[in-house]
A = this chain, B = another copy of it.
């Protein structure tokens, strides 16, 4: 068995597939395009993954999910610097983990685009990702913030607030074409720094709304 070679082909296919699925969406990408980009044979996708759709699922299982582990690790390290994290520290770490971090800019883009497309046309990949990644992370965030919130804030309201922070952050990531056109700003380092400042401030004050009772 030449497993090493096999694995290399498999990995190259996964890399090309992730990039192309992210850029163009599942239906707009052909197996020919993927095998062309990964310099592998047309038959390799079906040999290694069984079908085009199963390759798509493997992209999530072997690329998307592992990447969230790196993101989460960095999130945890940022919080570790502040022994008693307050809400503003958690929010800041959340925002930065999406907009700034060890991921390359292209990786972040791919990551977000894949998720955005999954949301627009959900498949089994979304189900898997929500249960294995998002729900546990939501619980972690909730546990971090809970001690700083008044007792009258129930779990549902807290969840909605967390989702809102994520929502506004994601909007600035994936709606890049709209934001760039409207503001006339490229997403360079300077603009990203402004964005992080802005979103953190906006979101912290939004979270603080939890401290008031609904009227």
Chain A interface residues (CB < 8 Å from chain B): 23-28, 113, 116-117, 119-122, 126-127, 130-131, 134-135, 138, 156-157, 159-161, 163-164, 166-168, 170-172, 174-175, 177-179, 181-183, 194-195, 197-199, 201-209, 212, 214
Contacts and interface: CB of A to CB of B under 8 A. Distances in A.
Given A130-B182, A182-B135, A202 B161 contact: yes
Contacts of A204: 209
Contact of A160 (B160, B195, B206): B195
B134 A177 contact: no
Considering residues A156, A179, A195, A202, which has the most beta carbons from chain B within 10 angstroms of its beta carbon?
A202
Given A159-B183, A171-B170, A195-B160, A119 B178 contact: yes
A157 B198 contact: yes
Given A120-B117, A202-B206, A126 B174 contact: no
Given A116-B119, A126-B178, A131-B181, 6 more contacts: A117-B120, A159-B183, A160-B183, A161-B202, A163-B171, A163-B182
Given A116-B116, A116-B120, A121-B24, A138 B182 contact: yes
Q: Taking each of A119, A166, A195, which has the highest tally of chain B beta carbons within 10 Å of its own beta carbon?
A: A119
Contacts of A134: 178, 182
